[in-house]
Chain A
């Protein structure tokens, strides 16, 4: 067996608790409760193990990571382990004092999510009154402190028309980067797909908006944008390939190849409480199962793109076909590709109501 390259990134999902209730949340339907969360010392050890394994970038995520009172300590431990720290936050729980504690701890970068550019719509989508205003206040703290800021906007049918305003918002807030991320449809987002899927016309307008803004704002704002699966001909290399670039640790300590992987049946995930990150990365069946190309079915097996997109997303394959080892239906070569067009057509007829993400309120599985 050839040696396995170490991962570059660790996604640490510190908690599933979050005051917001985004209907596209990428957390699993079965959310962990506070009592199941890893403690400070265990996370500190995980960060040291990650650094020793070869991880360079740490993404502190959730849920809402600032719910953890020990977040500044966690940032400090990560910094001491030599990791580059990126906080992924909704920004609604951090006042000036808490923000300052994070800066003192050595935070390197923050990624702030917004639900829309327009306040009433943003607060409705996030399911949290007053959230948008707090986000703007958080961005002002980051700017005053000189902390590099990326604005993250998850886009879908109900906010995509305001993409130009989102770009203006990123500029107003002093962000250096804007991530325009289309919803990925599994978990909560799949339950809300009819209310979220954009039309092809909307998508084309958005793509044109991004291209024009990129040209206009060169040197001022970097815009990350990927065309969404439901209107694509080929899938994305999900996570840069299964078990290739990054690993994730869930609030309860499960070591995952991808934050959504817990939804896949038939895989047992090692836990940091009894398994080292290295052991999991190099040997756990959950990581070797879809690593590389040997597991692939046709049409991937004999496709010349198999080492570019690695067959796409396992979670999407499972969500849409019931088989985690199938070719991602986002690929036009998948026998299930028609499912996506069908979903787009269905969504065009559907209403705008959401099933909000809440602990202990998982929707029935489709």
Chain B
């Protein structure tokens, strides 16, 4: 798993979509021949991947929103995104 640089702009990979699943009261990530239900934290992060925000900006936003120490958030988000990238869900 390689780390995503702080100034990179992570976004959903081609063919991957974040969708509200209203019938089941949740959000889902849809991808070719598969889908998964992100947990609360992953969902917060995925919703911030708008194709414009850098990893740094995502961390900034979350740190402000949750009034949490920046380093802690940065480490969690980096780990999460590296995992999603390894699974082909996120690219930079």
Q: What residue in chain A is nearest B87 (Cβ atoms)? A: A219
Of the candidates B15, B21, B32, B88, the one whose C-beta lies within 8 Å of that of A56 is: B21
CA distance A104 to B8 in the complex (A): 27
A109 touches B15 (CB 8 A): yes
Shortest CB–CB separation between residue B89 and chain A, in angstroms?
12
A177 touches B32 (CB 8 A): yes
Of the candidates A52, A57, A148, the one whose C-beta lies within 8 Å of that of B14 is: A148
Interface residues of B in 1-32 (CB under 8 A from A): 14-15, 17, 19, 21, 23-24, 28, 30-32
A148 touches B32 (CB 8 A): yes
CA distance A146 to B15 in the complex (A): 9
CA distance A6 to B22 in the complex (A): 11
Task: Known contacts A56-B28, A86-B32; decide if A147 and B23 are in contact (CB<8 Å).
Answer: no
Q: What residue in chain B is nearest A179 (Cβ atoms)? A: B33
How many chain B residues touch A (Cβ–Cβ < 8 Å)? 15
Of the candidates A6, A54, A147, A150, the one whose C-beta lies within 8 Å of that of B33 is: A150
A108 touches B15 (CB 8 A): yes
Shortest CB–CB separation between residue B85 and chain A, in angstroms?
11
Q: Is B35 close to A, CB under 8 A?
A: yes
A84 touches B30 (CB 8 A): yes
B19 touches A82 (CB 8 A): yes
Chain B residues, Cβ within 8 Å of A54:
21, 23-24
Chain B residues, Cβ within 8 Å of A109:
15, 32-33
CA distance A6 to B28 in the complex (A): 15
B33 touches A53 (CB 8 A): no
Shortest CB–CB separation between residue B86 and chain A, in angstroms?
8
Q: What residue in chain B is nearest A224 (Cβ atoms)? A: B33
Chain A residues, Cβ within 8 Å of B30:
56-57, 84, 108
The contact string, 1 if C-beta is below 8 Å from chain B, for chain A 42-66, is 0000000000111011000000000
Chain B residues, Cβ within 8 Å of A40:
none
B35 touches A6 (CB 8 A): no
A84 touches B19 (CB 8 A): yes
Task: Known contacts A108-B15, A146-B14, A147-B14; decide if A6 and B24 are in contact (CB<8 Å).
Answer: yes
CA distance A147 to B32 in the complex (A): 10
Interface residues of A in 144-165 (CB under 8 A from B): 146-148, 150
24 pairs from A and B in contact (CB 8 Å cutoff): A6-B23, A6-B24, A52-B23, A54-B23, A56-B19, A56-B28, A57-B30, A57-B35, A84-B19, A86-B32, A86-B33, A108-B15, A108-B30, A108-B32, A109-B33, A147-B14, A147-B15, A148-B14, A148-B15, A150-B32, A177-B32, A179-B33, A219-B86, A224-B33
B residues adjacent to A (C-beta < 8 A): 14-15, 17, 19, 21, 23-24, 28, 30-33, 35, 86, 88
For the complex with contacts A56-B19, A57-B35, A219-B86, 20 further pairs of A-B residues with Cβ separation under 8 Å are A6-B24, A52-B23, A53-B23, A54-B21, A54-B23, A54-B24, A56-B28, A56-B35, A57-B30, A84-B17, A108-B32, A109-B15, A147-B14, A147-B15, A148-B15, A148-B31, A150-B32, A150-B33, A177-B33, A224-B33
